[in-house]
Amino acid sequence: MAHTAHRLARAVITPTTIVLAVIVAIAVYFIVQRYLYGLGAVTNINPGYPWGTWVVVDIVIGTALGCGGFAMALLVYVFNRGEYHPLVRPALLGALFGYTLGGFAVLFDLGRYWQAYNLVLPWYTNLNSVMVEIALCVMAYILVLWIEFSPTVLERFGWSGLRRFVERWMFVVLALGVLLPTMHQSSLGSALLVMGTKLSPLWFTVWLPLLYVTSALAMGYAIVIFEATVVSESFDLPSEHSLLSKMSTVVGGLAAAWLVFRYGELIWRGDFGYALVGDLKAVMFWIENLLMAFAAIVLLVPAGRASKRASFLAAVALLLSGSLYRLDSYLVGYDPVGNWHYFPSVPELMVTIGVIALEILLFLIFIKAFPVLANARPAARNA
């Protein structure tokens, strides 16, 4: 089981990182605008759609895409599948930035950010609010992720004393690292329960928390497959496909279970008719589910699992499906009071794209700066 992780010995500044940095700079420009002139100057959010892409993409979808750390920790430490351990560090790194930047996005989306600390003042806390649970839990989980990742940093700088101390207590942090995402990823679904009739019955169900947490978990595994494939292909590293394809059964199983439960519940509740009316909502519903079904089938069929291409496509489909599910339940499937319309403005999109670019940029820098990748050969190979 023993394995080692290495730094990727490549140049940090490449055309890709420069392009990403430019995109981030554009986003920073618009974020400054937002602080100077208000949310309305940059975004298209309006009285009907108070939450735009900054919330739904950066936070709701962003953290779900950051569930790789959660999924791998569950698999490796709870279900004791040590063979997947090489995948943990990159997954953690992805999660680290998915969550940290999600939390960061909250700060520029909050209308009264200078009072954001009120969230942690116990005498203000409203225990009925799902938002409290999400906020506190996400904050805690970001901290947990940094601690989980810290041995990698400490290893890099050779602070073995501190590292040993951290690792002694790591089991508590790892346990929290499984518990907290279960809590807040399900709560992101519970957050919609208050919507009632404002949300289409295609999405609105009392089982939203369960659907959210299972799809987050599936997305966590899918992002690991996606990430590992992209990294190994981009940097011509040895493939981890054999490991990934073993894990694919888990992902496929989750995806299939999610679909079965979703359809079963929808039909049992008697609202399946909404999927057949042919409006935008129904179309989006089918796109979500067909993507998920594609992922489930490919990953459950041995031939599909074996093919690198097919399993990569399946992972992408699953990620798209999970993201669309969140986008649809928060924006497309939602009927505002009044005939309101929303589509993100260009600056708003640029900020969202900038956050994603920053995630990729930081990921690229970190795998070169810290020993993250197990398949990155020691520097000697490239020297």
Partner 1 sequence: MAATRDQAGSSRRIDFEEVLSRDLDEPVKAGIGLSRRELMKFCAGVAATMGLSTAAGVRMAEAAEAKERPPVIWLHGQECTGCSESLLRSYHPTLESLILDVISLDYHDTLCVGAGHQALDYKHAMMEKHKGKYVLVTEGGCPTKDGGIHCKVGGKTQIELIKEAAEGAAAIISIGSCASWGGIQSADPNPTGAKGTQEIIPDKTVVKIPGCPPNPYNFLSTVIYVLTFGKVPELDQEGRPKFAYGRLIHENCERRPHFDAGRFALEFGDYGHRQGFCLYKLGCKGPETYANCPAIGFGDVGEGQWPVGIGHPCFGCVEKETAFTKPIHSLATVKTYAPPAAFPDVDMALGTGMSPGAAAVVGGAVGVAVGAGAVLLSKMGKKDGSEGGEQA
Partner 2 sequence: MTLDRRQFLKGAAFSGAAGAATVATGGEAAAVMRPPLDMPEKAIGMLYDSALCIGCKACVDACKSANGMPAEIPSTLAAWNENTWDTGESLSGKTLNVIKVFRSGTAKQKDAEDNGYAFVKRHCLHCVDPSCISVCPVTAMQKDPETGVVTHDPDRCIGCRYCVYGCPFGVPQFDVSDPYGRIQKCQFCNHLLKEGKIPACCDVCPTGASLFGPVVELQGEIDRRLAAEPGTNFVFPRGEIGSDRPPHEQAVPRYKKAVYGLTEAGGTQVRYLAGVPFTSLGLPAVGDISYARLAEGVQHTVYKWMLAPIIGLVGLVFLVRRNAADKSGSEDQA
Question: Do 206 and 190 meet the contact criterion of CB atoms below 8 Å apart?
Answer: no
Nearer to partner 2, 3 or 246 (CB): 3
Residue 249 engages partner 2 in binding (rule: CB under 8 A): no
Least separation in angstroms between CB 295 and partner 2: 26
Residue 316 engages partner 1 in binding (rule: CB under 8 A): yes
What is the rounded CA–CA span in Å between residue 17 and residue 9?
Answer: 15
Question: Do 59 and 105 meet the contact criterion of CB atoms below 8 Å apart?
Answer: yes
Residue 343 engages partner 1 in binding (rule: CB under 8 A): yes
Least separation in angstroms between CB 343 and partner 1: 4
Angle at 270 between CA 267 and CA 271, to 5 degrees: 90
In sequence order, the 6+-apart residues with CB closer than 8 A to the CB of 14 are none
Nearer to partner 1, 297 or 353 (CB): 353
Q: What are the structure tokens assigned to 252, written together?
A: 């496929």
DSSP 307: -
Footprint of partner 2 on 78-137 (CB under 8 A): 78, 80, 82, 85, 110-113, 115-116, 118-119, 121, 124-126, 128-133, 135
Which one of partner 2, partner 1, none is in contact with 119 (Cβ closer than 5 to 8 A by kind)? Answer: partner 2
Which one of partner 2, partner 1, none is in contact with 308 (Cβ closer than 5 to 8 A by kind)? Answer: partner 1
Footprint of partner 2 on 21-80 (CB under 8 A): 34-41, 43, 45-48, 50-51, 76-78, 80
What is the rounded CA–CA span in Å between residue 5 and residue 148?
Answer: 15
Residue 200 engages partner 1 in binding (rule: CB under 8 A): no
Question: Do 62 and 219 meet the contact criterion of CB atoms below 8 Å apart?
Answer: no
Footprint of partner 1 on 260-299 (CB under 8 A): none
373: helix, strand or coil? strand
End-to-end Cα spacing for the chain: 28
Residue 325 engages partner 1 in binding (rule: CB under 8 A): no
Residue 108 engages partner 1 in binding (rule: CB under 8 A): no
Binding mask 19-58 for partner 1 (x = CB under 8 A): -------------------------x-xxxx---------
CA torsion 152-156-161-162 (nearest 10°) is -50
Nearer to partner 1, 130 or 358 (CB): 358
CA distances from 85 to 78, 88, 138, 261 (A): 12, 5, 24, 30
Residue 375 engages partner 2 in binding (rule: CB under 8 A): no
